[in-house]
A = this chain, B = another copy of it.
């Protein structure tokens, strides 16, 4: 194409739309069901229970230390499928592009989508591209929806969380949120936070042999670990007790959180998973996770005990504090 930026006509359904789709989408994703650009992809049935999810991505800026909106959009949906015990299979990509967006930016993001999808073994099966006028979308928004097949053995629900369950995390928490905020706020420190944006489906697969012991999983994105744990025990006669010293937070993320007066436990991760496990299975899950590069730093951070739906942390200094759900405007457009 001779154009170097996105024009309104790229979304109009005419000749320029077609050229954009052929040059940028089919060239990257046209080997599978997208080839003939049907209105919808016709796919084989998943075999067993199907897992279906969607996420929109409005992260700003589009690029951040450790990733960009493209791989984030793939991993975000892959991870939602994984958190429900699924193996990701198929992905849809819905692009909303702003008039004037540099084609180079679009190409870079699409390349990231392609690499991330390949890494996760998912196929981009269907998609849609819309263009809005200048000032109507801030560069680019991406929606992904995904379909997966649920792994045998997983039966995940907050209702299964029980007294004595161990709380595991697959790695350091809050890196994504602090990485995005640091670039947005112009904080440029040595060893600053780098997004953990990455897929977690291999961790879920690796733990499948102990699936019966896994009661609930979730990836701690918006609202961070604090939101996941509070939602998990809300309305139950259970508390989560965390050991502050055991919660992994990278030095860079801790530094930026302190500079901005934020709590890393409220900050989003985009490549971690939290699991509630029966005590007799927790070691096996941890050991399975530790065997993978993305789970090397997986640890136990707390346990479930009788209580009243609260999340409590035993602090380094020996005190106890309540870990509440984040309130108010915390981290807009973090994903």
Q: Which A residues are closer than 8 A to B by beta carbons?
A: 7-9, 11-18, 36-58, 79-81, 83-86, 90, 92-96, 125-128, 130-133, 135-138, 141, 143, 145-148, 150, 156-159, 218-219, 221-224, 227, 231, 266, 268, 325-333
Q: Residue A132 contacts which of B39, B46, B58 (CB distance < 8 angstroms)?
A: B58
Count the copies. 2
Name the B residues within 8 Å of A157 (CB-CB): 36, 38
| Chain B residues whose CB sits within 8 angstroms of the CB of A80 once the complex forms | 39-40
Partner of A331, one of B12, B42, B333: B12
A185 CB → nearest B CB, Å: 15
Measured between beta carbons, the chain B residues less than 8 angstroms from A223 are 12-14, 17
Checking B9, B11, B51, B227 against A43 with a beta-carbon cut-off of 8 angstroms, the contacting residue is: B51
CA distance A44 to B49 in the complex (A): 5
- Contact of B12 with A222 in the complex, beta carbons under 8 Å: yes
Docked pose: A44 CA to B147 CA in angstroms? 12
Question: Residue of B at shortest CB range from A77?
Answer: B40
Distance to closest chain B CB from A152 (angstroms): 13
B332→A55 contact, CB < 8 A: no
Q: Give the contacting residue for A13; candidates B45, B148, B221; CB below 8 A.
A: B221
New A-B contacts (10) at CB < 8 Å, excluding given A9-B329, A12-B331, A133-B332: A14-B227, A14-B328, A41-B84, A42-B49, A46-B46, A50-B50, A52-B126, A54-B93, A56-B130, A137-B141
For residue A51, which residue of chain B has the nearest CB?
Answer: B40
A49 partner residues in chain B, CB cutoff 8 A: 42-45
Q: Is the CB of B51 within 8 A of A41?
A: yes
Given A14-B327, A327-B14, the answer on whether A143 and B94 have CB atoms closer than 8 Å is yes
Other-chain contact of A94, B13, B56, B325 (Cβ < 8 Å) = B56
Given A43-B49, A45-B46, A45-B49, residue A12 in contact with residue B128 (CB < 8 A): no
